[in-house]
Amino acid sequence: GAEVMHWWTSSSESAAVRKFADAYRAAGGVWGDTAIAGADQAKAVAINRIVGGNPPTAAQFNTTKQFRDLIDQGELNNVDDVAVRDRWDQLMPQPILDVIKVKGHYYAVPVDIHMSTWIWYSKAAFKKAGIAREPATPDELFAALDKLKAAGLIGLAHGGQPWQENILFQAMLANVGGKELYLQVLRDRSPKAINSEPFKKVLLAFKRLQGYVDAGSPNRNWNDATAMLISGKAGVQIMGDWAKGEFAAAKQTAGKDFGCIPGLGAHVPYLIQGDAFVFPKTANAEAVRAQKLLATTMLAPGAQLEFNKIKGALPILSNVDTSSMDVCAQAGMAILKDKTRATGMIEVFLTPDQNGALQDVLTTYWNTRMPVEKAQKGIAAALQD
């Protein structure tokens, strides 16, 4: 059978991955599920097994630079025939193609599009705080947070973990800084941009968010922060669209019980990544057949729709009919039609080491009285090659 290694262990994630398993079994495959809690842990196990010569049939990674070393070391089978047959070049967003396609070969099967920096809000909390209109600019967002705080509610539900601080930072870079500055800082890693006045404004906006979190924030998991919106205790959370799985599990409806804002302005970059499976090198014909069948069944339109509805993500191929998806998904699909807005999220541009160094600076700046100029210097140093 096929051993599929992944980190989808929350209740909504388990329900989603079952849709892939069902599609694979329906096509005659034998699905062997190896679920490992924690993305970093799962990736470490996958890399150790691949390098150690005992690889799974398929292993999950994010659609970022995380598996680039495996490609460079010749440890992965390509899926060129599936990519050509299913017209990936025409139907997948460019930032995702840029990550999976190396020297003309396709080395991963992306299965979804996640946007990292949605702004979620509780309709009940907004009503209680007297916020009549959805914030449409960064200033309006801060005004809404002030109203929530004045009404005795928690403004921002935040899980104080480095990767979550990283998400708040990306959200401020995209919404306050804009696409050009976003790319200058993360793609070009330009010291001039990092030490600029506009970037200082971004960091000050990021730090300002800290005035709206509660004392229980440090080390809270992201889904526990989402639960604070679901119960109406908190007003806003900035988190990827995997949060929709939690709202759905709590029987809450997008547009009725909670709102979703993709960007505070019409040109805000839509920061995407997602999940993908890589297929470790093997000469075993049976395993290669299983890999191709997995790639085919995971990208079938029916499985794509079922999986992504539960996962909270968007189908990876733009020709899947998404009319039955929720209003947040519809908003995301509409934005993706504008090719100028799809932009890679942070780890599409940074190596895992650079991202880790950046996270260290951001978390220290968030949790201490570090002056903003010192944060700018620290970020410039973190992003040097």
pLDDT score of 156 more than 80: yes
- For residue 223, what are the domain limits? 118-271+345-383
Assess whether 59 and 101 both reside in one domain: yes
All residues at 6 or more sequence positions from 352 whose CB lies less than 8 Å from its CB, including other chains: 65, 66
Mean pLDDT of 89-94: 95
pLDDT score of 385 more than 80: no
Assess whether 128 and 264 both reside in one domain: yes
Q: Note the pLDDT tens digit of each residue in 347-379.
A: 999 998 999 999 999 999 999 999 999 999 999
Q: Note the pLDDT tens digit of each residue in 54-85.
A: 999 999 999 999 999 999 999 999 999 999 99
**Cβ burial, residue 92 (10 Å; 0-12/13-18/19+):** buried
Assess whether 168 and 265 both reside in one domain: yes
Mean pLDDT of 260-282: 96
The pLDDT assigned to 245 comes to 86
Please name which of 244, 239, 273 lies closest in space to residue 350, comparing C-alpha atoms.
Answer: 273
Mean pLDDT of 160-175: 97
What would the two tokens of residue 47 be? 């890399």
Assess whether 98 and 143 both reside in one domain: no
CA distances from 263 to 203, 257, 260, 341, 353 (A): 18, 19, 9, 10, 28
Angle at CA of residue 153, ends 164 and 201, nearest 5°:
50
Assess whether 79 and 197 both reside in one domain: no
Q: Note the pLDDT tens digit of each residue in 336-353.
A: 999 899 999 999 999 989
Q: Note the pLDDT tens digit of each residue in 20-58.
A: 999 999 999 999 999 999 898 999 999 999 999 999 999
Measured distance CA(340)–CA(335) in Å, rounded: 9
Question: What would the 3-class secondary structure string for 173-211 be?
Answer: HHHHHCHHHHHHHHCCCCHHHHCCHHHHHHHHHHHHHHH
The pLDDT assigned to 339 comes to 86
Assess whether 17 and 144 both reside in one domain: no
The confidence band for 283, taking pLDDT boundaries of 50, 70 and 90, is confident
Assess whether 26 and 66 both reside in one domain: yes
Please name which of 218, 205, 130 lies closest in space to residue 169, comparing C-alpha atoms.
Answer: 205
Q: Which residues of 152-163 are buried (b: 16+ CB within 10 A; e: fewer)?
A: ebbbbbbbbbbb
Longest C-alpha distance within the chain, in Å? 65
Measured distance CA(298)–CA(43) in Å, rounded: 20
Q: Note the pLDDT tens digit of each residue in 296-327.
A: 999 999 999 999 999 999 999 999 999 999 99
Residue in this structure with the two tokens 């993706």, named with its chain if needed: 336
Q: Note the pLDDT tens digit of each residue in 258-267.
A: 999 999 999 9
The answer to whether the CB of 46 falls within 8 A of the CB of 312 is no
Assess whether 226 and 329 both reside in one domain: no
Q: Are strands 114-115 and 118-122 parallel, antiparallel or unpaired?
A: unpaired
pLDDT score of 222 more than 80: yes
Assess whether 160 and 34 both reside in one domain: no
- Quote the mean pLDDT of the chain: 96
The helix or strand, by DSSP H or E, that contains position 308, with its residue range, turns out to be helix 301-311
The pLDDT assigned to 11 comes to 83
Is residue 68 classed as helix, strand or coil in its secondary structure? helix
- CATH number where 363 lies: 3.40.190.10
The confidence band for 249, taking pLDDT boundaries of 50, 70 and 90, is confident
Assess whether 267 and 351 both reside in one domain: yes
- Residue-by-residue DSSP string for 235-281: EEEEE-TTHHHHHHHTT--BTTTEEEES-SSTT--EEEE-EEEEEE-
The answer to whether the CB of 219 falls within 8 A of the CB of 225 is no
The confidence band for 138, taking pLDDT boundaries of 50, 70 and 90, is very high
The answer to whether the CB of 220 falls within 8 A of the CB of 158 is yes
Assess whether 24 and 161 both reside in one domain: no
Q: Note the pLDDT tens digit of each residue in 1-16.
A: 999 999 999 888 999 9
The pLDDT assigned to 172 comes to 98
| Amino acid identity for residue 295 in this structure | A
How many domains does the chain contain in total?
2
The pLDDT assigned to 43 comes to 96
Assess whether 186 and 231 both reside in one domain: yes
